[in-house]
Amino acid sequence: MIQKEPITNRFLKYVTMDTESDPRNPAFPSTDNQWNLAKVLVDELQQMGMEEIDLDDNCYLMATLPSNITYEVPTIGFIAHMDTSPDYTGANVNPQIIENYQGNDILLNKEQNIVLSPNYFEDLLLYKGQTIITTDGTTLLGADDKAGITEIVSAMEYLLQHPEIKHGKIRICFTPDEEVGKGAHLFDVEKFGAQWAYTMDGSQIGELEYENFNAASAKVTITGKSVHPGYAKGKMINSILIAKDFIAALPSEEVPEKTDGYKGFFHLHDMTGTVEKTVLEYLVRDHDIELFEKKKKFLQKLVFDFNGKYPQEVIQIEIKDQYFNMKEKITPVIHIVAIAEEVMKELGITPLIKAIRGGTDGSQLSFKGLPCPNIFAGGHNFHGPFEYVPLESILKATAVIIGIAEKVSDKYKN
């Protein structure tokens, strides 16, 4: 049986290390703090007996659990990311542990009256009677994705300690900078050497995902003309007011706060402006590739139409594709999803197979030749102070990894 205390201590050690990534730094990793966790993981993997441990110059950490069977089975992998989101501070994380949670409000911070309430976050009610790990209301927790790291390391340790559980060769990797969209950019698929892998980066217990958004960024730059306001008639071009009209011209219902399921959106996530220059930064998302392309063309036509209203070009747009829906690459090997689904059911977990309203390293890795569905890591409310994770979900995810390793060896046995 997987022991709660060592896993709890491991998780708490990881989350109290600040590994926030930086979207403005093109280096790998984007922050030096990620090296600190990587080096701790190297030491742990060495001590437990993992092999081929390699931390490269870009902070990608790979290691091998050797096969303990005599027949050939596919090499599989498990992947998690070391960085935490720059959306909210990950420094000085002070986790709180609530034993035997009873469905009540959780006071995260008395001084600031910050409360984690099931009246607002109703998923809390799924975990009555369980152990909930929260923040103190002033930082994120970092379960995204240090829960995933905890689960992979703990599963490898368990398999090493229990050689009676038969498995083929298993590769693991911990990546930098997933939260800023770069986690798979320098991932060496050939060096990893797995036939397929799973990212442990989902949320609620049972999540099993092999579809995600097609994603692009759009940077809209509006150039105005600054003139003394007392003498501006017919001369000033106020880029802020043009930006206001541009924002209003986008579909008001196609925004994150009004969409769910397979519905895509335009998300204005950053805006800076003066009379002379305003910059709007959008995320463009859709699961359907045709609708995704239509969204990008809509933005381009909108820019064209706006420019037609002025004697000179006032708006420029730069659209960059970020990642694509991994369903295209995983459907031909859907048995790798079926294996994870079967293991979950055997462990008494109800599989929640659904599309990710976002992306993971796995979406990019799938297009690089490593099919990579996503499995729950257990956390909720990522990227903010209301993040929490039930300890039992971490334990279950660890058991899923162990079960997949054993299931693959069983299915390919002669």
Pairing of strands 352-355, 207-211: parallel
Pairing of strands 76-81, 170-175: parallel
Q: 3-state DSSP call for residue 366?
A: helix
Closest CA to 77 of 68, 64, 67: 64
Sequence-ordered strand ranges (E) for 250-289:
265-273, 277-286
Name the H helices within 262-333. Answer: 289-307, 327-330
In angstroms, the CA 255 to CA 185 distance is 28
In angstroms, the CA 340 to CA 347 distance is 11
Closest CA to 287 of 216, 212, 362, 180: 212
Closest CA to 400 of 385, 378, 369: 378
Q: Residue 78: phi, psi to the nearest 5?
A: -135, 135
Pairing of strands 315-323, 277-286: unpaired
Sequence-ordered strand ranges (E) for 310-370:
315-323, 352-355
Closest CA to 402 of 339, 351, 354, 353: 339
Q: Which residues does the annotation mark as catalytic?
A: 83, 178
CA separation, residue 391 to residues 92, 222, 379 (Å):
21, 48, 9
Q: 3-state DSSP call for residue 237?
A: strand
CA separation, residue 66 to residues 16, 63, 229, 356, 389 (Å):
31, 10, 73, 32, 31
| Cβ atoms of 91 and 20 closer than 8 Å | yes
HSE value, Cβ hemisphere, 13 Å, CA-based, for 95: 26
Three-class HEC string of 8-33: HHHHHHHHCCCCECCCCCCCCCCCCH
Q: Count CB neighbours of 1 within 10 A.
A: 6
